[in-house]
Structure 1
Amino acid sequence: MTDTAADVTAAAKALMPDVLDRLDALVRIPSVAFPGFDPEPVHRMGQAVVDLFEAAGAEGVRLLDVPGGYPCVYADLPGPDGSPTVLLYAHYDVQPAPESQGWSTPPWEPTRKDDGRIYGRGAADDKSGLVANYATLKLLGADRPCRVILLSEGEEETISHLEAFVEANPDLFACDAAVIADIGGQEVGRPGLTVALRGDVACTVTVRTLEHPVHSGEFGGAAPDAMTAMIRILDTLHDENGDTVIPGVDSGRWDGAAMDEPVYREGSAILPGVDFLGTGSLADRIWMKPSVTVLGMDLPNTAEASNVLLPSVTAKLSMRIIPGSDGDAQLEALMAHLRSQRPWNCVVEVEKVKVGHAFRVDESHPAIPAAMDAMRQAYGRQVESIGSGASIPLVASLKKVSPDAAILLWGAEDTKQSRIHASDESVDPDEIERMIVTQTLFIREFAAAM
Structure 2
Amino acid sequence: MTRSQTPASLSALTQDLTRLAAIPSISAPGYPESTHAALGEAYELTAELLRDAGLQNVAPLELPGTAPAVTGEIPAPPGAPTVLLYSHYDVVPAGDESLWTSPPWVPTERDGALYGRGTSDSKANVIGHVGALRAWDGKPPVGIKVIIEGQEEVGGGALLTYPQAHPETFACDAMVIADMGSVRPGVPTLTVALRGMAMATIEVTTLKGAKHSGQFGGAAPDALLILLRALASLHDDNGDVAVAGLDRNEWTGESYSDDEFRELAEVLPGLPLQGTGGLGSRVWSGPAITVTGIDVPSVANALNAVSPHAKAKINLRVHPAQDAGEAQAALVRHLEAVKPFGIALEVTAQETGNGFAADTTGPAYEAARKAFSAAWGTTAVFAAGGGSIPLVSALQSAVPKAEVLLVGATDGYANIHAPDERVLLDELDKATLAEATFFGELAAGWS
The answer to whether the superposition gives a TM-score over 0.5 is: yes
Distance 1:396 1:214 in 2: 49
Given the alignment, which residue of 31, 34, 44 partners 2:28?
Answer: 34
Counterpart of 1:144, as a letter, is P
Contact 2:81 2:142 in 1 (8 A): yes
Q: Which residue of structure 2 lines up, in the alignment, with residue 277 of structure 1?
A: 274
Cα deviation, 1:370-409, whole Å, max 9, x if unaligned, reads 0010001100011111122122232222222222211111
Structure 2 gap segments, 5+ residues each: none
TM-score, normalization by structure 2: 0.92
Cα deviation, 1:129-167, whole Å, max 9, x if unaligned, reads 111111112212232212111111222222323221111
Aligned with 1:125: secondary structure? helix
Distance 2:228 2:321 in 1: 31
Aligned with 1:441: secondary structure? helix
Distance 1:97 1:77 in 2: 35
Question: What displacement does 1:178 show?
Answer: 0.2
Q: Which residue of structure 2 lines up, in the alignment, with residue 420 of structure 1?
A: 416
Aligned residues: 442
Contact 1:186 1:263 in 2 (8 A): no
Cα deviation, 1:298-333, whole Å, max 9, x if unaligned, reads 345444555544433332221111122121100111
Q: Which residue of structure 2 lines up, in the alignment, with residue 158 of structure 1?
A: 154
Change (3 A) 1:361 1:27: same
Aligned with 1:157: secondary structure? helix
Q: Which residue of structure 2 lines up, in the alignment, with residue 362 of structure 1?
A: 359
Distance 2:369 2:133 in 1: 20
Contact 2:121 2:179 in 1 (8 A): yes
**1:191-202 alignment runs, 5 A limit:** 191-202=188-199
**1:169-180 alignment runs, 5 A limit:** 169-180=166-177
Cα deviation, 1:220-247, whole Å, max 9, x if unaligned, reads 4433333332221111111111111101
Range with bigger deviation, 233-242 or 250-259? 250-259
Q: Which residue of structure 2 lines up, in the alignment, with residue 106 of structure 1?
A: 103
1:439 partnered with 2:435:
yes
Range with bigger deviation, 275-284 or 337-346? 337-346
Distance 1:202 1:51 in 2: 38
Change (3 A) 1:448 1:136: same
Counterpart of 1:37, as a letter, is Y
Counterpart of 1:93, as a letter, is D
Change (3 A) 1:213 1:108: farther
TM-score, normalization by structure 1: 0.91
Given the alignment, which residue of 172, 185, 195 partners 1:188?
Answer: 185
Change (3 A) 1:234 1:30: farther
Given the alignment, which residue of 113, 128, 134 partners 2:130?
Answer: 134
Q: Which residue of structure 2 lines up, in the alignment, with residue 393 of structure 1?
A: 390
1:407 partnered with 2:404:
yes
Given the alignment, which residue of 344, 368, 372 partners 1:371?
Answer: 368
Counterpart of 1:156, as a letter, is E
- Provide the aligned C-alpha RMSD in A: 2.2
Change (3 A) 1:179 1:261: same
Contact 1:107 1:119 in 2 (8 A): yes
Aligned with 2:198: secondary structure? strand
Aligned with 1:89: secondary structure? strand
Counterpart of 2:12, as a letter, is D
Change (3 A) 1:48 1:220: farther
Change (3 A) 1:154 1:403: same
Contact 1:206 1:312 in 2 (8 A): yes
Distance 2:88 2:250 in 1: 31
Change (3 A) 1:214 1:171: same
Q: Which residue of structure 2 lines up, in the alignment, with residue 263 of structure 1?
A: 260
Question: What displacement does 1:216 show?
Answer: 4.6
Change (3 A) 1:214 1:26: farther
Distance 2:214 2:105 in 1: 48
Question: What displacement does 1:37 show?
Answer: 3.2
Q: Which residue of structure 2 lines up, in the alignment, with residue 17 of structure 1?
A: 11
**1:29-68 alignment runs, 5 A limit:** 29-38=23-32, 39-68=36-65
Counterpart of 2:137, as a letter, is G
Question: What displacement does 1:436 show?
Answer: 0.3
Contact 1:199 1:393 in 2 (8 A): no
